[in-house]
Amino acid sequence: MSKHTFEQYAINATVSHVIKKLGFQEPTPIQQQVLPAALRGESLIGQSHTGSGKTHAFLLPMLNKMEENLNQVQYVITAPTRELAIQLYDEVKKAIQLAEKEESWIAKLVIGGTDKQKMMEKLASNPPQIVVGTPGRILDMVKEEALNFGTVKAFVIDEADLMVDLGFMEDVDQILIHTNPEVQIMVFSATIPERLQPFLKKYLDNPTHIQIQDQKPAPESMEHRLIPLRHKHPADIIIEISKTIQPYLAIIFTNGKDQADELAEALLDRGLETGIIHGGLSPRERKRMLKDLQSLRYQYIVATDLAARGIDIQGVSHVINASLPKEEEFYIHRVGRTARAGLQGTAINLYKEEDLPLIEKLEKRGLEFEFYDIRNQEWKKIKAHNVRQTRQPKDTELDKKARQMVRKPKKVKPGYKKKMKRATEKNKRKLKRDSFRKGR
């Protein structure tokens, strides 16, 4: 089997130098497929998990086609959160530095939480070739004419499914109105939700679709435990869990910021000191919370899926899903926050009956779940959902008589059970009628 190398792509000497300085030996699976399509200028949809190398899959082709003498916006990279935008911007700045092009390649970070007027003045005085930022603030700058997107050659939408969830696709739509209709659009997402389809159909004409299925959907050193919710409040079960584990840091995931606020408050009321992080916090609050996490002030932090996408929280030993997500990929992202760098990790999931189809799908992908309850501050294994017997109503005398009246065939044929059931029901109706007539 031939080994893939970066040399096989039409990459110039400057970008080759950057690749060597980054220490990349060979392209990752997503890079192998995105690089040639991106270099050809094709619009594309790339599906892969966090940590697959997608950032450089779109960044390297951009740098390869950079026109350094053209002091206009050539490339735009959008992300749904400030934290993700900052991380992308750091990668861009690092690549520019390694290319030794700090004087001629200009990149600007365009996010909220900063002085709008100062940002407008800086952008006008020194137009960047690469803009990295969040859709809302980028749109502000375009409307104020601080940025001209008529010259944009390629436009990246990163973490598109999270962009949809946070309601930013309308802003992206408005930004693209100000770009050249022939602009190359590259959409990257872990999943392609139904709500993203109208946007894709509107802007991407016959795009290249690249999907990378990870061989290992979750770290091998991770344990996946399931605890039935059984109409209890999640906070009550999490308090019980906290008495049985000693996490270095545990992230407690919820589906949405309102649920996160409610759960964090409930845990604090029950005496568990808990941090919180989600998209509804102000920039100052988020900054302070991340600082508190780094200084190990909290052992527990309640978070939305935002924290599974790019916020670099070190030392997570446990992931607790207070509510399971609706899609498999979101579960993979969440549990991917732990068991990193060869460390052990535990995912503890509170589940309801409606979560069983998701669990079964994840099992088919190779994840192994164990079912537990907590009794007297101890973990107790319980029967798995797929062998659990549902409680059947007790037979009445009428049921027994009706069943005895059914003539059982000598040979069992397909549909035997259904026929027996239908015959039993028929006999029950007959017995009821006979009983009614006798009682008249």
pLDDT, tens digit, 9 for 90 and up, residues 190-202? 778 788 899 999 9
Give Cβ neighbours of residue 261 (< 8 Å, ≥ 6 apart): 276, 278, 280
The pLDDT, as a whole number, for residue 392 is 44
Cα–Cα distance between 192 and 160 in angstroms, integer? 8
Are 240 and 141 found together in one domain? no
- Residue 390, pLDDT above cutoff 50: no
| CA dist., res. 338 & res. 251, Å (int) | 9
Residue 199 resides in a domain: yes
The answer as to whether 217 is a domain residue is: no
What is the C-alpha to C-alpha distance for residues 11 and 60, in angstroms, rounded to an integer? 8
DSSP states of 140-198 as a string?
Answer: HHHHTTSS--TT--EEEE-SHHHHHHTT-HHHHHHHHHTS-TT-EEEEEES---GGGHH
Could you tell me which residues are beta bridge partners of residue 50? none
Beta-bridge partners for 197: none
310: CATH: 3.40.50.300
Asked if residue 301 lies in contact with residue 251, where contact means CB atoms within 8 angstroms, the answer is: yes
Residue 136 exposed, middle or buried by CB count within 10 Å (0-12, 13-18, 19+): middle
Distance CA(424)–CA(400), nearest Å, equals 9
342 in the same domain as 323: yes
295 shares a domain with 203: no
Per-residue confidence (pLDDT) for residue 387, from 0 to 100 = 43
CA 9 distance to own-chain centroid: 30
Q: Do residues 368 and 413 share a domain?
A: no
Task: Give residue 434's pLDDT.
Answer: 66
- Return d(Cα 256, Cα 381) in angstroms, integer: 30
pTM of this structure: 0.65
Q: Is 440 helix (H, G, I), strand (E, B) or coil?
A: coil
Question: Which of 381, 405, 424 is the endpoint of a domain?
Answer: 381
- pLDDT tens, 120-168? 999 988 899 999 999 999 999 999 999 999 999 999 999 898 888 778 9
Domain that holds residue 402: 397-435
Phi, psi (5° rounding) for residue 43? -75, 145
| Residue with more model confidence, 384 or 355 | 355
Query: How many angstroms separate the Cα of 193 from the Cα of each of 133, 135, 200, 326?
Result: 23, 19, 11, 11
Distance CA 6, CA 25 (A): 8
Q: Do residue 160 and residue 265 come from a single domain? A: no
391 falls within a domain: no
Q: Which of 156, 183, 211 lies at the terminal end of a domain, its last residue?
A: 211
In a domain, 350, yes or no: yes
Task: For residue 216, tell me if it sits in a domain.
Answer: no
**Could you tell me if residue 390 is inside a domain?**
no
Beta-bridged to residue 252, according to DSSP, are: 302, 320
Q: Are residues 239 and 364 in the same domain?
A: yes
Would you say residue 320 lies in a domain?
yes
pLDDT at 310 (0 to 100): 54
Residue 183 has pLDDT above 90, yes or no: yes
Regarding whether 281 and 324 lie in a shared domain, the answer is yes
What pLDDT shows up at residue 365?
83
- pLDDT of res. 89: 95
DSSP string, 225-274: EEEE-TT--HHHHHHHHHTT---S-EEEE-SSHHHHHHHHHHHHHTT--E
Sheet holding 130-133, edge to edge: 107-110, 130-133, 75-78, 154-157, 184-189, 44-47, 208-211
How confident is the model at residue 408, as a pLDDT? Answer: 65
DSSP conformational letter for 343 = -
Q: Using CA atoms, how far apart are residues 323 and 255, in angstroms rounded to an integer?
A: 6
Is residue 385 scored above 70 in pLDDT? no
Residues 356, 260 share a domain: yes
C-alpha span between 129 and 131 (Å, rounded): 7
pLDDT higher for 293 or 185? 185
Q: Do residues 133 and 111 make contact, with C-beta atoms less than 8 angstroms apart?
A: yes
Give the number of domains in the chain: 3
At which of 189, 211, 233 does a domain end?
A: 211
Q: What local confidence, expressed as pLDDT, does residue 409 receive? A: 64
Instruction: Kindly state whether residues 64 and 113 are assigned to the same domain.
Output: yes
